[in-house]
Structure 1
Amino acid sequence: MADARLQGRKVAVLATDGFEQVELTKPVEALKAAGAQVEVVSPKAGEIQGYNHHDKGDTVAVDRELAQANASDYDAIVLPGGVINPDQLRLEPKAIDFIRAFAEAKKPIAAICHGPWTLINAEAVDGRRMTSWPSLEADLKNAGADWVDEEVVVDDGLVTSRNPDDLPAFCAKMVEEFAEGRH
């Protein structure tokens, strides 16, 4: 029998050029397998360029331009990593506002690797227990997060992981938290 835990749920995956390929594709696969409707949202139209660490990977089609996206139309959000992707998104006020809207509405958020960088700009990490790629430890702590080095951390609807090796645990907890809805 098919997994239908996310049937009727709509999930945004916010990304731009420079996303870590598997940190977008594996969560999207897990969400769709659980019945979610998934849209890749980006500040640019067309396609965005994925990376396999430092090497160019595949492109992914953008389903909705950020300018036409409204956080109220989604039940949850995924923030893939890659160094370039979140660094560019941090400079996009609309991207930060979009993420902040999820945090303020207490909708589930899943961020992996460098993805939590955007949560700092959205002022959504203070007092939160979370993890990330190790180089973000000081940034997250300085923003008020309780940073830990664990495979996956769940804090009241916020799911975070460190790197692609953590994807199985990350995806499982993401689906579980997204199924629970607002926290």
Structure 2
Amino acid sequence: MTAIKDTKILIMATDGFEQSELFVPLEKLRAAGADVHIAAPKKGDIKGWDKDNWGRTVVADLGIDEVDADDYDALVLPGGQMNPDVLRLNERAVELVLDFLDSEKIVAAICHAPWLLVEADAVEGRMLTSWPSVKTDIENAGGDWVDEEVVVDDNIITSRSPKDLDAFCAKIIEELEQLEDVGGSA
């Protein structure tokens, strides 16, 4: 399957990412033909979190200081409690989210990752979903929270949890296919 063969996608994460929320999109997007890179605050190994202990390690191809949003078609933000909580305190990580949003590129956030959208002041007037504990943060930032497996509001795609990964990945691919159809790839 090469539905999105001409697209470049960035996954941004750090230690404590929810394992499935990084690895499943990584595998499905690559299987669909996308060129996928992983960025972290520092280039090198980052560790996932698997239920109650550290999990698998993945290599971040890039440090976030090396990333230019203009080089990518989409940004994927995995959740987990630790990962987005650490990233939302990183000024460059928040700037990258804004760079993607300002360029009208797809930003896909799952589980706790919408915290980064809140931190970027990007949820006001938008409809999103997330892990239930993030609902109040979204609403306090002016967003409309709904309990659905996947929500698209303009260029933002959100999902609630690992249970929604199939719908989340399918929606990212669908939105990228539409970009490719109109020649909007980076």
The two structures have a TM-score, normalised by structure 1, of: 0.95
Residue type of the partner of 1:53? Answer: K
Give the structure 1 partner of residue 110 of structure 2.
112
* Displacement after TM superposition at 1:155 (Å): 1.4
SS of 1:171's equivalent in the other structure is helix
Give the structure 1 partner of residue 165 of structure 2.
167
Q: How does 1:1-183 map to 2 (within 5 A)?
A: 3-181=1-179
CA distance in 2, matches of 1:139, 1:130: 11
CA distance in 2, matches of 1:114, 1:154: 16
Residue type of the partner of 2:15? Answer: D
Question: Quick check: 2:19–2:50 contact (8 Å CA) kept in 1?
Answer: yes
SS of 1:172's equivalent in the other structure is helix
CA distance in 2, matches of 1:93, 1:180: 31
Question: Quick check: 2:101–2:155 contact (8 Å CA) kept in 1?
Answer: no
The two structures have a TM-score, normalised by structure 2, of: 0.94
* Displacement after TM superposition at 1:54 (Å): 2.5
* Displacement after TM superposition at 1:174 (Å): 1.2
Q: Aligned residues: percent identity?
A: 51
Question: Quick check: 1:79–1:112 contact (8 Å CA) kept in 2?
Answer: yes
Root-mean-square deviation (Å): 1.0
Give CA-to-partner distance per residue, 1:61-82, whole Å, 9 cap, x none. 1111111111111110000000
Residue type of the partner of 1:29? Answer: E
* Displacement after TM superposition at 1:173 (Å): 0.6
Matched positions, count: 180
CA distance in 2, matches of 1:123, 1:10: 25
Residue type of the partner of 1:179? Answer: E
* Displacement after TM superposition at 1:41 (Å): 0.6
CA distance in 2, matches of 1:77, 1:53: 25
Residue type of the partner of 2:123? Answer: V
Question: Quick check: 2:7–2:72 contact (8 Å CA) kept in 1?
Answer: yes
* Displacement after TM superposition at 1:110 (Å): 0.8
* Displacement after TM superposition at 1:151 (Å): 1.0
**Unpaired runs of at least 5, structure 1:** none
* Displacement after TM superposition at 1:126 (Å): 1.1
**Unpaired runs of at least 5, structure 2:** none
Give CA-to-partner distance per residue, 1:106-125, whole Å, 9 cap, x none. 10111000010001111211
CA distance in 1, matches of 2:13, 2:176: 19
66-75 or 132-141, larger mean C-alpha shift: 66-75
